[in-house]
Amino acid sequence: MAEVHAARRSRLREGRAAAGRSAVLVSRPANLRYLTGSAPQHAVLLLGPAEDVLFCSQPPSGDPVEGRIGEDLRVQTLDDTGADPALAAASLAAASGAESLALEEHHLTVARHRAIGSAAPRLRLTDLGFAVEQQRLIKDEEEIACLRIAAEIADQALGELLESILVGRTERHLALELERRLVDHGADGPAFPTSVATGPNAGAAGHLPTDRRVEEGDFLSVCLGANYRGYRCELGRTFVIGTSPASWQVDLYDLVFAAQRAGREALAPGAAHREVDRAVRQILDSAGYGDRLGPSTGHGVGLEIGEDPQLSPSAMGKLDACVPVTVVPGVHLPGRGGVRIDDTLVVRSEADGGPELLTITTKELLAL
Amino acid sequence: MAEVHAARRSRLREGRAAAGRSAVLVSRPANLRYLTGSAPQHAVLLLGPAEDVLFCSQPPSGDPVEGRIGEDLRVQTLDDTGADPALAAASLAAASGAESLALEEHHLTVARHRAIGSAAPRLRLTDLGFAVEQQRLIKDEEEIACLRIAAEIADQALGELLESILVGRTERHLALELERRLVDHGADGPAFPTSVATGPNAGAAGHLPTDRRVEEGDFLSVCLGANYRGYRCELGRTFVIGTSPASWQVDLYDLVFAAQRAGREALAPGAAHREVDRAVRQILDSAGYGDRLGPSTGHGVGLEIGEDPQLSPSAMGKLDACVPVTVVPGVHLPGRGGVRIDDTLVVRSEADGGPELLTITTKELLAL
């Protein structure tokens, strides 16, 4: 694995070959993990003129980490506890002859940026921008394998829940049980706080579980994901509770399902992000629910949930092969509830079989 | 409750009376919650020359929030989805005649700060610093009541776990069960990721649960906390598994217990933060374990876990009455395990009965 990370650091460096004697300081945790395989709290990575160094403050376990990760990465734990590792990294960059230091201005706070400037006054501070995030967009097969396992875990956890009795249980309890099952099946933890929404709450994006209990006739919508080795998937389904759904429930479900399918079918290398969004949105628009949609109808997943690309009306750019995304339309009717359906897929060319569906739980409207 | 938050905003404004026609932009979530009672994602609070406004992007439920919280706070949800509410807030501040805008430079990123400057080029941007955090240090009785309930919930969750069979269960499962019990007893969720550490892992600060199973003869250390209405407590205990602890276990436990007691007894209004730390540290130092201690031996709690004050050798400042803190020494011996004991207390004067212990689970060395 250390080779994979060294290769990613080389690629980042090559992309900046024009930047001269410039060192790079990476601070955003997901970017650190991508480039080194680990992201201790407050750690930073220096890609220096002379060497690559991961600077950590007190590591979580309390044991000093000192040494190397692979051949090309030195690890340095700071002795002066409480100090910001970014300052030590900037000092080393200056001492190693770097003229400038490219920083993640979208992650560093104003106060921290100023402290770095003071610690190494002769370094010119520049903006690295989203260079690492850009590099993270297209996943390698090892990353996709992790996402595939994460999705399988989420499918298993949800499948088991559906076999149990749901009526009378609270949203909070169902969410906690799902998270326990994710861990049972090998997840490092949930990918994000599990959402369970019943009755009038169903279908609301990002609903946080309450003490409301599942009742006969409810819509029940669930959104969960597993974190497997840092990689996060997303799976959302909506069910009805009781023997037979009401006709408004069937109609709303069919509509959201049709919109979600249109989004999935629009996924292809070269498809514009906004075209995928439009495929979903126009179906809901024409049924009069366009204003019920959130700002995006899907997003990238990987080391972060909700990473780029964003599938939204204002998004620029086109999809590439091996980019995993979610397609997640939802309609929530205040006071009545609603429907969300959420899959994680990997964009693949038609020759490779088209979009690869990672979350395979059925999307039939189940009456539980 | 709206009156409480309005009074806090007035106090913040009074503390800045010398700042002239200056508006204030609060972005740090815990500070937002303190000043408004809620903290939707990406929201910011503007204390303007004319009025106070909470700017939100899409609220979590998907329903537009528009209106007022109490008499003195207007809520504005942005229609142009995806836009940063901080930019709208800065524009309104400029339009309302503010000459400068004080920002939280320790929270805003460099990129976001620059965008605010572009959105309102005539505003002078200044640093609010830790003004809100300072105001949050001393808690009112309503806040302490929330912490007291949070501690009671953690005590109950831990007490129930101790009645169950532990041998053979994994750290992960025990941690998940504790978190479920926290919610059962009324917590909004865990205050932080629950730590369960067995055998060689026991006593390590911030240990993340693994698949290691509890064995006879193990030390078992647990650190958990409840989040109750946003307020977070911390409770840590160490146990031995089996009928009789080894003598090294008893000795280490007694030592850490003595250090923790010394810290608790040093808590008083007017006591220097570093003196409390020293009381703990010198007992472990004299036994040769000083280098096993982390950078701090306790910290403030409230809307955040680990907020100020920090009880550490380099800390400046003195304790006040009604400041809740943890006292949490630990010693971890690599390969063998260790002991951590962690209480949440509120600093009180001797006339008021001395430090108020919120986490009342026994600190006897229990053999389970």
The answer to whether the beta carbons of residues B183 and B154 sit under 8 Å apart is no
A96 and A224 together in one domain: no
pLDDT of B77 reads 86
Which chain B residue's Cα is nearest to A63? B334
Whether A105 sits inside 8 A of B114 (CB atoms) is: yes
**Residue A223 pairs with which residues in a beta bridge?**
A195, A236
Q: How many CA atoms lie within 13 A of B329 on its CB side?
A: 29
- Angle, alpha carbons B37-A191-B166 (nearest 5°): 95
Q: Which residues of B touch A109 (CB under 8 A)?
A: 105-110
Tokens of B146: 């929330």
Domain presence at residue B364: no
Write out pLDDT tens, residues B12-57.
998 887 767 789 999 999 999 999 998 888 899 999 888 999 998 8
A38 and A164 together in one domain: no
Domain presence at residue A363: no
Q: What is the mean pLDDT of residues B297-310?
A: 95
Q: Which residues of B touch A295 (CB under 8 A)?
A: 58, 81-82
Whether A105 sits inside 8 A of B105 (CB atoms) is: no
- Is A207 within 8 Å of chain B by CB? yes
Whole-angstrom Cα distance, residue B325 to residue B342? 10
How far A107 CA lies from chain B's nearest CA (Å)?
Answer: 6
Task: Among A25, A31, A61, A194, pick the best mutation site for testing chain B contact (most B Cβ within 10 A).
Answer: A61
B158 and B182 together in one domain: yes
Distance separating the N- and C-terminal Cα atoms of chain B: 44
Q: Which residues of B touch A292 (CB under 8 A)?
A: 62
Whether B314 sits inside 8 A of A82 (CB atoms) is: yes
Q: Other C-beta atoms within 10 Å of B121: how many? A: 8
Give Cβ neighbours of residue B3 (< 8 Å, ≥ 6 apart): B70
Whether A108 sits inside 8 A of B110 (CB atoms) is: yes
Run of H or E including A356: strand A356-357
How far A109 CA lies from chain B's nearest CA (Å)?
Answer: 4
Question: Among partner residues A62, A173, A204, which is closest to B205 by beta-carbon distance?
Answer: A62
pLDDT of B59 strictly over 60: no
Torsion of CA B24, B29, B30, B33, to 10 degrees: 80
Domain presence at residue A200: yes
pLDDT of A292 reads 80
Whether A180 sits inside 8 A of B183 (CB atoms) is: no
- Is A351 within 8 Å of chain B by CB? no
B182 and B317 together in one domain: yes
Question: Among partner residues B110, B172, B295, which is closest to A110 by beta-carbon distance?
Answer: B110
Strands A124-127 and B356-357: unpaired
pLDDT of A40 reads 82
B78 and B175 together in one domain: no
Whether A292 sits inside 8 A of B62 (CB atoms) is: yes
Residue that is last in its domain, among B91, B121, B136: B136
Write out pLDDT tens, residues B151-167.
999 999 999 999 998 99
Q: A136-175 burial string, b = 16+ CB within 10 Å, else e?
A: bbebeeebbebbbbbbbbbbbbbeebeeeebeebbbbbbb
Sequence letter at residue A21? R
Q: B3-31 burial string, b = 16+ CB within 10 Å, else e?
A: eebbebbeebeeeeeeeeebbbbbbbbbb
Residue that is last in its domain, among A120, A136, A152: A136
Q: Which residues of A touch B103 (CB under 8 A)?
A: 110
Question: Among partner residues B62, B114, B180, which is closest to A294 by beta-carbon distance?
Answer: B62
B82 and B160 together in one domain: no
Q: Which CATH number fits the domain that encloses residue B85?
A: 3.40.350.10
Question: Among partner residues A103, A111, A312, which is closest to B82 by beta-carbon distance?
Answer: A312
Whether B105 sits inside 8 A of A114 (CB atoms) is: yes
Whole-angstrom Cα distance, residue B359 to residue B298? 14
How far A339 CA lies from chain B's nearest CA (Å)?
Answer: 13
Phi–psi pair at B136, nearest 5 degrees: -75, -15
Tokens of A249: 């429930």
A228 and A90 together in one domain: no
pLDDT of B356 strictly over 70: yes
Task: Among B58, B61, B112, B208, pick the best mutation site for testing chain A contact (most A Cβ within 10 A).
Answer: B61
Closest CA to B262 of B335, B311, B193, B192: B311
Phi–psi pair at A157, nearest 5 degrees: -60, -45
Q: Which residues of A touch B295 (CB under 8 A)?
A: 58, 81-82
Q: Which residues of A touch B108 (CB under 8 A)?
A: 109-110
- Is B113 within 8 Å of chain A by CB? yes
Sequence letter at residue B271? A
Write out pLDDT tens, residues B178-187.
998 998 899 9
Whether B62 sits inside 8 A of A204 (CB atoms) is: yes
Domain presence at residue A94: yes
pLDDT of A224 reads 97
Which whole-number Å values give the CA distances from A243 to A21, A202, A216, B343, in the listed order? 69, 18, 9, 51
- Is A205 within 8 Å of chain B by CB? yes
Whether A109 sits inside 8 A of B105 (CB atoms) is: yes
A13 and A39 together in one domain: yes
- Angle, alpha carbons B288-B293-B297 (nearest 5°): 125
Strands B124-127 and B44-47: unpaired
Q: Which residues of B touch A179 (CB under 8 A)?
A: 176
Question: Among partner residues B63, B112, B176, which is closest to A334 by beta-carbon distance?
Answer: B63
Sequence letter at residue A111? A
Number of domain units in chain B: 2
How far B349 CA lies from chain A's nearest CA (Å)?
Answer: 30
A155 and A129 together in one domain: no
Which chain A residue's Cα is nearest to B204? A61
pLDDT of B38 reads 85
Q: Where are the alpha helices (DSSP H) in B137-246?
A: 141-162, 171-184
- Is A108 within 8 Å of chain B by CB? yes
Question: What is the distance, to the nearest Å, from the Cα of residue B353 to the centroid of all Cα atoms in its chain?
Answer: 24
Q: Which residues of A touch B330 (CB under 8 A)?
A: 62
Give Cβ neighbours of residue A17 (< 8 Å, ≥ 6 apart): none
State the residue for tokens 């999307």. Answer: A363
Whether B105 sits inside 8 A of A106 (CB atoms) is: no
A299 and A191 together in one domain: yes
Domain presence at residue A365: no
How far B81 CA lies from chain A's nearest CA (Å)?
Answer: 5
Closest CA to B84 of B105, B52, B55: B55
Q: Which CATH number fits the domain that encloses residue A336?
A: 3.90.230.10
Q: Which residues of B touch A172 (CB under 8 A)?
A: 183
Which chain A residue's Cα is nearest to B193? A189
Question: Among partner residues B82, B109, B314, which is closest to A108 by beta-carbon distance?
Answer: B109
- Is A318 within 8 Å of chain B by CB? no
- Write out residues in chain A with pLDDT < 70, as ranges: 1, 19, 58-66, 79-82
How many inter-chain contacts (A to B, CB under 8 Å) are there?
106
Which chain A residue's Cα is nearest to B115? A106
Domain presence at residue B131: yes
B85 and B162 together in one domain: no
Q: What is the DSSP letter of A336?
A: T
Q: Which residues of A touch B173 (CB under 8 A)?
A: 180, 183
Domain presence at residue A364: no
Q: Which residues of A touch B111 (CB under 8 A)?
A: 105-106, 127
Which chain A residue's Cα is nearest to B109? A109
Question: Among partner residues B106, B180, B204, which is closest to A111 by beta-carbon distance?
Answer: B106
Domain presence at residue B146: yes
The answer to whether the beta carbons of residues A170 and A210 sit under 8 Å apart is yes
Which chain A residue's Cα is nearest to B190? A176
Residue that is last in its domain, among B136, B154, B173: B136
**Residue B367 pairs with which residues in a beta bridge?**
B240
Q: Which domain holds residue B19?
A: 2-136
State the residue for tokens 């400038």. Answer: A100
- Is B168 within 8 Å of chain A by CB? no
The answer to whether the beta carbons of residues B284 and B331 sit under 8 Å apart is yes
Question: What is the distance, to the nearest Å, from the Cα of residue B269 to the centroid of all Cα atoms in its chain?
Answer: 20
On average, the pLDDT of chain B sits at 92
A161 and A112 together in one domain: no
